[in-house]
Structure 1
Amino acid sequence: MKILFTCFALVLTGCASTYSPVPENYQGEISKIDSSEKRHSNGKSDLFYLSKVNGKEIYNTLSATRNATYGQGFNLTTELLKTDVPSQEATFNIIGRTEHAAPMQAFADKVYEVKGNIVFKPEPNKEYIVKGILGESYSAVWIELKDTGEVIKNKIEVNGSAELGFFEK
């Protein structure tokens, strides 16, 4: 069974490559964007994280959490990443998503997801954090300045259910 799961995971992620938002030899100023979570149980958490920068997939909290959780049964080990980004205007794709330790848990439970883009210029040497809320009647994800809690630009909101269908989980 482990071999089958490993092969399946490789098929899903083996061809995907990730991009570093900070180019090699970059000399400019840097900002940081943290991930966050709302823990429900040992096996379930809502993750809020940066997924893409300027349309390019980055190594993110969901991938890191799935890697850290592999082989632990129903125990979810979250890896909340802090991503360095250049302090220049960019499009940041952020996601709020329910994650379970084991795929079978997700199929038997509700999984919510909300995602979208925020375009802004991070201030040099500042830390930001992706926050959110996921629920049956309202879900949202946003970026805020870590020190003050000030929401950057706007929240990406879903009024009503943001529950994923069976094949989207």
Structure 2
Amino acid sequence: MKALALAATLALAGCASFEAATPPGYDGPTVNVADQAQQVNDRLLHVFEMTQVDGRRLSTTSRATVSANQGRGFAVSPVALTNELPLRPARVQLQAMTQYAAPILAMTSPTCRVQGEVAFTPEAGKAYRVSGRIAPEACEAWIEDRDTKQPVTDRITGKGTRS
């Protein structure tokens, strides 16, 4: 049932409108925040992504991956997106999820999806990425400094793939 809800959410997401991570009219400095999609095998990805910034809905890696892989059957290749954020404090919604090549695979395999909002204040001259962990005991996401790999936000945490 959980997998069906996820498939329906992804299908309906195609009807929504998306905005840029930088607000309209902003022309100041920005920093890059990259989503991450880890290829587990030819049928499964672990996706760590930013879905909103200050309430603005973003185009996401999970949606881009679904679009790019339509018609490929039971194979999936990641399409990781990046966003440019203004150099100012923001409320960022993160998501960690398992993404299978086909919805039927998610119905019979361990799944994980967690979303949550964190405070994020980017610094000039740095690059960031959404990172996380998907394991039987927990599903987590956070933003980290791309060079040092140190977390710069709180973690969002949910049930793992064992649930």
Sort the TM-score into its range (normalised by shorter chain): 0.7 to 0.9
Deviations along 1:100-159, one digit per CA (max 9) or x if unpaired, are 11111111111111221111211124211111111221222111011111211322223x
Alignment-derived partner of residue 30 in structure 2:
30
Aligned pairs, number: 156
RMSD between superposed Cα atoms in Å? 2.2
For structure 1, the residue ranges without an aligned partner over 5 or more in a row are 1-7
Alignment-derived partner of residue 21 in structure 1:
21
Q: Describe the SS at the equivalent of 2:148.
A: coil
Q: Is 1:162 equivalent to 2:150 in the alignment?
A: no
For structure 2, the residue ranges without an aligned partner over 5 or more in a row are 1-7
Deviations along 1:41-90, one digit per CA (max 9) or x if unpaired, are 11101101111111221001011111111111111021011111111111
CA distance in 1, matches of 2:72, 2:108: 18
Bigger drift between 115-124 and 98-107 goes to 115-124
CA distance in 2, matches of 1:11, 1:48: 19
The answer to whether the Cα contact below 8 Å between 1:114 and 1:157 also exists between their aligned partners in 2 is: yes
Q: Aligned residues: percent identity?
A: 27
Q: 1:11 to 1:97 in 2, by over 3 A?
A: closer
Q: 1:30 to 1:62 in 2, by over 3 A?
A: same
Rg larger for: 1
* TM-score (norm. length: structure 2): 0.86
Matches within 5 A, 1:7-156: 12-156=12-156
The answer to whether the Cα contact below 8 Å between 1:113 and 1:134 also exists between their aligned partners in 2 is: no
CA distance in 2, matches of 1:36, 1:102: 20
Amino acid at match of 1:49: E
Bigger drift between 17-26 and 125-134 goes to 17-26
Stretches of 4+ aligned residues off by more than 3 angstroms: 8-11, 161-165
CA distance in 1, matches of 2:13, 2:118: 26
